[in-house]
Amino acid sequence: MSNLQNPPALNSISPFGFWDGAVGALSRELSPQQFKTWIQPLVLLSFDEGDRLLTIGAPNRFKLDWIKKTFAERFQEMAADYFGGPINVHFALAVEGAAPTKPNGADEVSNPPVSVEVQTNTTPSVSIEEQSFEIEDHSKLNPNLTFETFVTGKANQLARAASIQVAHNCGIATMDPPKI
């Protein structure tokens, strides 16, 4: 018997009851640091009874991706046990300070106000000619870290010089083979 099932005295299934049970179960399964880092920042955003859709919010993109990868199956399993059937568990980015999305039939929200970040495909007002020359940067490189901003010290002079040579001569061997 799962520890997330409703007690026999309760006749209605509450998404907040699920959330409290799921958080409690994960607090027992994980170390205190893991729980505090990954589960405690999550919030229950909404529950749509008709679509059987439960939405859980994470405070930032990194935690959202990690939760999806690491805990999605566990949340899915706990939701199916609690609600007595398949439930679609969706994870979204939660933004604090906006009006909360209440689950159906809920009168109070015990979590801080949140809303789901909606990504829209709005195109900036740039002409087609300008758009064709735009290059999207998909790298995760920090643009502030350049050779110009690098602080050179005695310990890293050789590494800096080698890095500059590699950057300026990408793919070209600069060393002559040893002469015998």
Amino acid letter, 160: R
Instruction: Please give the residue that has the higher pLDDT: either 60 or 122.
Output: 60
Whole-angstrom Cα distance, residue 12 to residue 77? 20
Ordered by where they begin, the domains of the chain are: 15-93 (3.30.300.180)
Whole-angstrom Cα distance, residue 128 to residue 111? 45
Q: Mean pLDDT throughout 125-154?
A: 65
* pLDDT of 115 strictly over 70: no
The pLDDT of residue 104: 43
- pLDDT band with cut points at 50, 70 and 90 for residue 177: low
Strands (E), the chain: 43-48, 53-58, 88-96, 114-116
CB contact at 8 A, 79 and 54: yes
Of 2-6, 36-40, 90-94, 166-170, where does mean pLDDT reach its minimum?
2-6
Instruction: Please give the residue that has the higher pLDDT: either 177 or 45.
Output: 45
The alpha carbon dihedral of 75, 43, 55, 93 has a sign of: negative
Instruction: Please give the residue that has the higher pLDDT: either 159 or 179.
Output: 159
Residue found under tokens 């809303």 = 115
The pLDDT of residue 169: 80
The pLDDT of residue 71: 92
Angle at 136 between CA 133 and CA 139, to 5 degrees: 145
- pLDDT band with cut points at 50, 70 and 90 for residue 30: very high
Nearest one of 88, 104, 77 to 13, comparing CA atoms: 104
Beta bridge partners of 91: 56
